[in-house]
Each structure stands twice: as C-alpha cells, then as structure tokens.
Structure 1
Amino acid sequence: MALWDRIKESASTMQTQLNAKKNDLKSGAFRDASMAMCALVAAADGSIDPAERQRVSSLIAGNEVLRNFPAEDLQRRFNDYCQQLTSDFEVGKVSILQTIGKVGKKPTEARAVIQIGIVIGGADGNFDNTERAVVREACFAAGITPNEFDL
C-alpha cells in the first residue's frame, strides 16, 4: 500500500475512533487542547499560510466530535492560538503544549487530542515530518507514549 493511502486510511480510522467517543469529549480542557493542537499542526513548519489556516478551519468546522462546541467559539480559540504561534513561535509553542498537557489526567481526552492532531496533519495526505514532530511533542505534554500512535 502506498504511503499516501496509509496516511489517508490512518486518518480515517482515527476519525472513526473519535466519533465513537464523542459523548465523552465535552470538557473545556478538551476543547482548548484540541484547538491548540490544530494550531500547532497548522504552524508545524514555523508559519501558517492563509490557505493552510483556511483548510484547518474547514476541517474543524466539519469534524463531528468538535460539533460538541459552538463553531464560532472553536474558530476564535483556533485563531487565538494561531496568533500566539505567529507572534513568537517558540513562546507560543510552549504555551500551547501546556494547554495540551492539561488533558493528560484524562487519558480518553488526551488520546483524542493526539488523534485530532494526526487527522488534521494527515488530511492533505501528507503527514510530514514537521507535523509528526509537533504531534510527538504534544504526546509528551499529554503524558502519552508517541509509539502508541506510531510517532
């Protein structure tokens, strides 16, 4: 199977797993960590171009699990996290990883946040090394072994 197909299949499988847990994923910490993860993946290479920002915004709006929260609220939070990363990537990344770390005490939420990162990163069929690296860092922040997700 081609790498492209494996990435798409993995993202699809993770989205199915997330949908099955939708009712367990309603906390504010999960909401914040999910939006932080989306911004982190979008800015994985150190910048966020407008097309990528729009693509991630569309993925957020269409994600079944994230429909537990008002779309405008998610968009505002995503934009705030993106702004932190574009203002000063390294400082913003530390703050975002701290936000992601807050779900570490709830393994279901922590794993779901990592899965969202993988879904967002793989949505274009290219879960590249910079995206994998930031999701790996998020795993450590959330207290999850990256090997669990083949990172």
Structure 2
Amino acid sequence: MALWDRLKESASQMQTQLTAKKNDLKSGAFRDAGMAMCALVAAADGSVDPSERQRVTELILTNEVLRNFPSEDLQRRFEMNLDQLAADFQLGKVSVLQEIAKAKKKPAEARAVIQIGIVIGGADGDFDKDEQAVVREACYALDLPPHEFDL
C-alpha cells in the first residue's frame, strides 16, 4: 500500500474512533486541548500559512466530534493559539503544549486530542515530519507513548 493511502486510511481510522467516542468528549479541557492541538499542527513548520489556517478552520467546523461545542468558541480558541504560535513559535509552543497537557487527567480525552492532531495533520494527505514531531511532543505532554499512535 502506498504511503499516501496509508496516511488517508490512518486519518480515516482516527476519525472513526473519535466519532465513536463523541458523547464522552464534552469537557472544557478536551475542547481547549483539541483547539491547541489543531493550532500546533497547523503551525508545525514554524509559520502559519493563511491557506492552512483556513483549511484547518474548515476541518474544525465540520468535524463531527467537535460539534459538541459552539463553532464560534472553537474558532476563537483556535485563532488565539495560532496567534501565540505566530508571534513567537518556540514560546507559543510551550504555552500551547501546556494547554494540551490539561487533557491528561482523562486518558480517553488525551488519546482523542492526539487523534485530532493526526486527523488534522493527515487531512491534506501529507502528515509531514514537522506535523508528526509536534504530535509526538503532545504525546509526551499527555504522558502517552508516541508508538501507540505510530509516531
């Protein structure tokens, strides 16, 4: 199977798993960590491209699991995290990873945050090394083993 097909299949599997847990993923910590993860993946290469910002915003607004929360609230939180990363990527990354770490109290939510990162990263069919690296860092912030997610 080609790498492209494996990426699409993996992102699809993660989305299926997330959708199955939708009713369990309603906490504020999950919402905040999920939006921090989306911003981190969008800015994984150290910059925030306007087209990527728009693409991730669309994914957030159409994601079945994230419909548990008001879309304006999600978008505001995503933009706030992106702005931190755009202003100073290294300092912003520390802050965003701290936000992600808030989800580690509930293992199901922590895993779901990582799955969101993989879904966002693989949505364009290219879960690149920068995106994989920041999702791996998020695994450490959540006390989850990266190999559990093939990272």
TM over 0.5: yes
In structure 1, runs of 5+ residues without a counterpart are: none
For the residue of structure 2 that corresponds to 1:45, the secondary structure is coil
Match of 1:46 in 2: 46
Q: Distance in 2 between matches of 1:105 and 1:31?
A: 14
Q: Note the C-alpha offset of 1:130.
A: 0.2
Alignment of 1:1-151 (within 5 A): 1-151=1-151
One-letter code of the match for 1:69?
Answer: F
- Percent identical among aligned pairs is 76
Quote how far apart the aligned CAs of 1:105 are. Answer: 1.3
Q: Deviations over 1:98-120 (max 9, x none)?
A: 11111111000000000000000
User: What secondary structure does 1:47 align onto?
Assistant: coil
Per-residue deviation, residues 49-92 of structure 1 (Å, max 9, x unmatched)? 10000000000001000000000000000000000000110111
Structure 1 distance, partners of 2:48, 2:42, is: 6
Paired amino acid for 2:28: G
Question: Could you tell me how far 1:46 is from its partner in structure 2?
Answer: 0.2
What letter is aligned with 2:79?
Answer: N
Secondary structure of the residue aligned to 1:12 is helix
- Equivalent position SS for 1:26: coil
**Alignment RMSD:** 0.4
Q: Which amino acid letter does the alignment assign opposite residue 42 of structure 2?
A: A
Amino acid at match of 1:28: G
